[in-house]
Structure 1
Amino acid sequence: MKVVVAMDSFKGCISSIDGSQAVALGIHDVWPEAEVDCIPLADGGEGTVEALVAATGGKYIPKSVTGPLGSPVEAVYGVLGDNHTAVIEVAAACGLPLVQLNERNPLLTTSYGVGELIADALSRGCRSMIIGLGGSATNDAGTGMLQALGFRFLDSHGQEAGRGGQSLAAIRSIELAGVNPELAKCRFHVACDVNNPFYGEHGAAYVFAPQKGAGPEMVQQLDLGMRSFADVVKSATGKDIQRIAGAGAAGGLGAAFSALLNAKLEPGIQLIASHAGLQRRIADADFVITGEGKLDEQTSMGKAPIGMAKLARQLGIPVLALGGSIPQDTTSLNEQGITSCFSITNGPMSLEEAMEKQVALNNLRLCASQLFRLIRAIR
């Protein structure tokens, strides 16, 4: 019996690694001789660095960088086991949790620290970059990140336009003379699971800026700035970033990577699967166990457990999904490759209790042991 356990994190509760290990313990409680291969899972958001570092035998690199409001923050990125691929979550340098609720203001927040992480990875010899978008506190179209890499954004007087979303409307030209020359040797693979355009009613400002602290007037100001900046980029590069699916991701960082760093925007789970060797590792498995804190409509729209299930279905492998909660109607999940879903909650409890780390780990272990007690009895 071989089981591959690839749990996504239970956000705010347990990591992918801890969750997968709890399931493995549950299986071994009733089937000690079973081969269990734990593969940390992520989709480009929280946990991506941890998942890929663990899967490839890589290492963590701590780095003090400029935070979203300009003060230093302690960030961590990863270098994979090949020693030339860096994996960076933009949220580590400009994530929403780094800004207090009453200080959130996408006119001011900058992605500068993301560029500092990239520059540090370049200095260590990395020429392949995996970037996880998502969770940013910014709406600066990635200009901060690019400034840290040597790009200059100039106003009508030839002066630096500044940082943050408020600077976008003032930018009239892009100066490339000081760009880090090592970028030309670098390949960027960007995990992006949204298709939002750069500006407009479905763009970065209107869809994502409100959760970053923007009111209606600020949203309009940011969107106008994005429109203006798109014109500047088209003039400088010939690229129409409004036509790039996902350009509006992470406050416009998707556009910055695509248009100015020649990155490829890819579905997160596909990118993770490729670098972690998921298809090879599940090829001879009897079962795949996956899941996350809440299995719901968002899961069925392409999050990590569904990506794992689709991969397993191609190989004819049954997939069991475990979650803190599951929907009353699991049809969409089943149709996309999940054989069956199970809630790990084993009795009435508050959300706060269910999200206590040890409670969740114990519930995962118990659920897995009960499932494999049944499987062992009928095999």
Structure 2
Amino acid sequence: MRVVIAPDSFKGSISAPDCAAAIADGWRSVRPGDSLVLLPQADGGEGTLDAIEASTPDAVRRSAGMVTGPDGRPVPGVWLELPDGTAVVELAQMAGLALMAAPDPLGATTRGLGEVIVAALDVGATTLVIALGGSASTDGGAGALAVLGDRGAPVGGVTLLTDVTAPLLGPMGAAAVFGPQKGATPTDIAVLEERLRAFAAGFRTDPATPGVGAAGGTAFGFLAAWGARIEPGAAAIAALTDLTETIRDADILITGEGSFDDTSYTGKVVGHALRLAHENGTRMIVIAGRVATEPRLPDGRPVASISLASLAGSTEAALGDPTRWLTAAGVEAAQLEAWDSRNS
């Protein structure tokens, strides 16, 4: 059989490439004759560079040197060069919340993002893809745009990858919804809202456009200044990694994430994989750290699922050795398929 293994990272636990490799090891121990295709995925947040690099043989990871981190301290900047001249930049890598020494909702900046983009453009990148998840700041992308100055967008255009549809302003906007995750108090949120409102007033772009609230409004900044287009991250990365095409010839698709719940259907990797499986008539297995709700295809049919917490006996045990339990899940998935084949 042809088995495609395409998980997201298990956030804070294991990367998507390592997750896919562990599941594959388990599957091979039961069904060594199957053809396995490993296509790690992401939704535009942390791990996007890893997923695209692992699935693109001729991709090259480039250094931008030390750039400005979200709290002003220098951090290494990197970007991914694809064979067609596209530069992929992951905002979380140089301006992510995990890089903050302490929360600073009013001071965090996207300046480093602009510095990495400059490095990519200076060596001839013709198209730009910016993964927007995991931002530490709520500056509307102003920090990045200040670095870019009067530079124009690359000739191939700019694509913004995100899994949110938030507008820039208001109760469902960048400051109100995501500010608290970055340490913002109600008073801070009011300040950030006013800053974003003043920033937006300098452009003709409608701040109510769905998705422009992504990454603290960075999506708005690049849409307004460079005419960037916003795309759902999971779908775009599935296309970039050839998952969209590869699944057409697959017998089984295995995907996974740290926690499968109702939010998994809202722009995340596993939800998109469920849609792809449904469209292509591909059998599917979901592996997750925890399974809070039964995975289902868009037509309501249930999908087989495996919980690492159940295999390990607890969430803590699963988190303590994710490689071991993902390998065990790969074994169980292969045994499940063998049972289904004998009884079909």
Give the counterpart letter for 1:218 in structure 2: D
Structure-1 residue corresponding to 2:231: 266
Shift of 1:69: 1.7
Kept after mapping to 1: 8 A contact 2:142/2:221: yes
- Aligned partner of residue 355 in structure 1, secondary structure: helix
Aligned-pair identity in percent equals: 38
Measure the CA separation in 1 of the matches of 2:301 and 2:239.
Answer: 19
Cα drift, residue 373 of structure 1: 3.5
Q: What residue is the counterpart of 2:68 in the other structure? A: 66
Residue 109 of structure 1 aligns with which residue?
A: 108
Taking only aligned residues, the RMSD between alpha carbons, in angstroms, comes to: 1.9
- CA distance in 2 between counterparts of 1:286 and 1:190 reads 32
Alignment of 1:7-26 (within 5 A): 7-26=7-26
Task: Tell me which amino acid in the other structure corresponds to 2:67.
Answer: V
Partner residue, 1:188: 158
1:312–1:337: 8 Å Cα contact kept in structure 2?
Answer: no
Name the structure 2 match of 1:285.
250
Q: Could you tell me how far 1:95 is from its partner in structure 2?
A: 0.5
Aligned to 2:29: 29
Deviation at residue 337 of structure 1 after TM alignment: 7.1
Task: Tell me which residue corresponds to 2:332.
Answer: 367
Deviation at 1:186, TM superposition (A): 4.2
Give the CA deviation at 1:284. Answer: 1.3
1:132–1:190 CA contact under 8 A, matched in 2: yes
Which amino acid is 1:180 matched to?
R
Any conservation in 2 of the 1:289–1:319 contact (CA below 8 Å)?
A: yes
TM-score w.r.t. the length of structure 2 is 0.93
Q: CA deviation at 1:348?
A: 5.9
Which secondary structure does the structure 2 equivalent of 1:283 belong to? helix
Q: State the shift of 1:354 in Å.
A: 1.0
Q: Given residue 342 of structure 1, which amino acid in structure 2 is its aligned partner?
A: I
Q: Displacement, 1:46? A: 1.4
For residue 255 of structure 1, what is the aligned residue in structure 2?
220
Give the distance between the partners of 1:32 and 1:348, measured in 2 at CA: 24
C-alpha separation in 1, matches of 2:74 and 2:230: 29
Structure 1 unpaired stretches of 5+: 151-178
Q: Distance in 2 between matches of 1:206 and 1:219?
A: 6
Give the distance between the partners of 2:337 and 2:22, measured in 1 at CA: 14
Post-superposition shift, 1:27?
A: 1.9
Aligned mates of 2:295, 2:79 — CA distance in 1 = 38
| Structure 2 alignment gaps of length 5 or more | none
CA displacement 1:167-210 (0-9 Å, x = unmatched): xxxxxxxxxxxx124x2524111112211111111111111112
Alpha-carbon spacing, 1:369–1:354, altered in 2? closer, same or farther (3 Å):
same
Counterpart amino acid of residue 107 in structure 2: L
Change (3 A) 1:86 1:184: closer
Cα distance in 2 for partners of 1:184, 1:291 equals: 35
Q: Distance in 1 between matches of 2:93 and 2:244?
A: 29
Q: Deviations over 1:262-311 (max 9, x none)?
A: 11101111111222222221111111111112111111223101111211
Q: CA distance change for structure 1 residues 347 and 286 in 2, over 3 Å: closer, same or farther?
A: closer
Q: For residues 195-214 of structure 1, what are the structure 2 equivalents within 5 Å?
A: 195-214=165-184
Aligned counterparts of 1:55 and 1:347: Cα–Cα separation in 2: 29
| 1:79 corresponds to which of 74, 78, 81 | 81
Which secondary structure does the structure 2 equivalent of 1:122 belong to? Answer: helix
Secondary structure of the structure 2 residue equivalent to 1:232 = coil
Amino acid at match of 2:226: L
State the secondary structure of the residue aligned to 1:36: strand
| The one of 298, 306, 330 aligned to 2:294 | 330
Say if 1:348 and 1:73 are closer, same or farther in 2 by CA, change over 3 A: closer
1:313 aligns with 2:278: yes
1:349 Cα shift? 3.4
Alpha-carbon distance in 1 for matches of 2:179, 2:315 = 28
**What is the CA deviation profile of residues 196-246 of structure 1, one whole-angstrom value per residue up to 9, with x for unaligned ones?**
11111111111111221211111111111111221122xxxx322x12111
CA contact (8 A) 2:26 2:328 kept: no
